[in-house]
C-alpha cells in the first residue's frame, strides 16, 4: 500500500506596505470590510477587479477613436482598486483566509491584468508597441523577483519606497487626464507620445529597482547559507 503524501506546509509571508497612501488606504479598506454585505465573498471581489482590468484595456483601445473613453479608464481604475484591495483583506477580516489559493489566484490575475492594461495602451495609440513591450517585460521581471523573494525571504513587498499599487493607479489616472490635453510632448527637440515618455521613466525605474533588489537579496541569501 502506497504511503500517504506528506501534507503541504505553507507559511504565509510577512506583508510589507510603505506606500504614501498606505495609512489612508488601510483605514478605507477596514471601513469597507466592516460594512460589506455577508453575501459578498473574496472571490466576488477578485472577479470584480479582473473585470475592471478588462474594462481598462477595452476603454484604452476605444480611446483611439474618442479620447473621452479615458474617463472610463479612470472609473475602472477605482473599481479595480476596490476589488483588488479588498479581496484578501475581506478574507483576513472575516478570518476565512485561504493563503495558498489566495496568493496564487491574486497574482495570476495581476499578471493577466498587466497584459490587458498595457495591451490596451498599445492598441489605443497612446503608447507605441515597442515601449509597451519593454514596459511589460520590466513589470514581469519585477513580479518574478517579488514572488521569489516572498518564497525565499518570507517577506511579501507590496510597495517599494513610496510607490505601490495604489500610487501607480493614481499616477496612471493623472497621466490619462494629461494625455487628453497633451497626447504628445517635445523632448530635447524630439516629439514623442506622453505615454512613451512615461513608459521610458517607469521602465527605467523598474529595471533599476529589480537590479538593486535582486542583487541585495541574492547576497543576503548567500551570506545566510554560506557555512
- Please state the rounded mean pLDDT for residues 164-184: 89
pLDDT band at 83 (very low <50, low <70, confident <90, very high): very high
pLDDT score, position 158: 66
Is the pLDDT reported for residue 148 higher than 80?
yes
What is the CATH topology of the domain spanning 15-225?
Answer: 1.20.120
Q: What digits encode the pLDDT tens for the residues 7-27? A: 555 555 566 566 677 788 889
- Residue 186: predicted pLDDT: 78
Contacts of 194 (CB under 8 A, 6+ apart): 126, 175, 178, 179, 182, 183, 184, 185
Question: Would you list the domain boundaries of the chain?
Answer: 15-225
Residues 100-135: tens digit of each pLDDT: 898 899 889 999 999 999 999 999 999 999 999 999
Average pLDDT over residues 40-67: 95
Q: Which residue has the cell 488606504?
A: 25
Give residue 22's pLDDT: 73
- What's residue 88's pLDDT? 86
Q: Measure the CA–CA gap between 74 and 61, rounded to whole angstroms.
A: 14
Q: State mean pLDDT over 90-104.
A: 88
Residue 215 has pLDDT above 70, yes or no: yes
pLDDT band, very low/low/confident/very high, at 79 (cuts 50, 70, 90): very high
Q: What pTM does this model have? A: 0.86
Over residues 42-52, the pLDDT tens digits come to: 999 999 999 99
Which residue, 33, 209, 196, 212, is CA-closest to 130? Answer: 196
Cα dihedral: 103, 136, 24, 37 (round 10): -50
Does the pLDDT at position 98 exceed 60?
A: yes
Rounded-to-integer distance, Cα 221 and Cα 217, Å: 6
Reading the block at residue 190, the C-alpha cell is 524630439
pLDDT for 20 = 72
Whole-number pLDDT of residue 132: 95
**Is 193 in contact with 45 (CB distance < 8 Å)?**
no
pLDDT of residue 23: 82
pLDDT at position 57: 96
Average pLDDT for 31-59: 94
Amino acid at each position: 500500500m502506497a504511503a500517504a503524501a506528506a501534507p503541504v506546509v505553507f507559511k504565509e509571508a510577512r506583508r510589507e506596505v510603505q506606500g504614501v497612501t498606505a495609512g489612508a488606504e488601510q483605514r478605507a479598506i477596514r471601513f469597507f470590510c466592516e460594512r460589506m454585505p455577508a453575501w459578498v465573498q473574496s472571490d466576488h471581489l477578485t472577479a470584480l477587479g479582473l473585470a475592471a482590468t478588462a474594462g481598462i484595456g477595452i476603454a484604452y483601445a476605444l480611446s483611439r477613436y474618442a479620447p473621452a473613453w479615458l474617463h472610463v479608464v479612470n472609473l475602472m481604475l477605482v473599481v479595480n482598486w476596490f476589488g483588488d484591495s479588498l479581496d484578501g483583506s475581506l478574507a483576513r477580516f472575516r478570518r476565512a483566509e485561504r493563503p495558498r489559493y489566495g496568493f496564487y489566484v491574486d497574482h495570476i490575475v495581476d499578471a493577466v491584468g498587466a497584459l490587458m492594461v498595457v495591451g490596451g495602451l498599445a492598441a489605443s495609440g497612446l503608447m507605441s508597441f515597442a515601449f509597451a513591450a519593454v514596459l511589460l517585460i520590466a513589470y514581469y521581471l519585477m513580479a518574478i523577483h517579488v514572488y521569489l523573494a516572498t518564497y525565499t525571504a518570507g517577506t511579501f513587498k507590496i510597495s517599494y519606497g513610496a510607490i505601490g499599487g495604489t500610487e501607480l493607479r493614481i499616477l496612471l489616472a493623472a497621466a490619462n487626464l494629461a494625455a487628453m490635453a497633451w497626447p504628445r510632448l517635445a523632448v530635447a527637440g524630439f516629439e514623442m507620445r506622453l505615454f512613451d515618455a512615461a513608459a521610458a521613466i517607469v521602465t527605467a525605474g523598474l529595471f533599476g529597482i529589480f537590479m538593486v533588489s535582486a542583487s541585495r537579496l541574492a547576497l543576503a541569501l548567500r551570506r545566510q547559507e554560506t557555512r
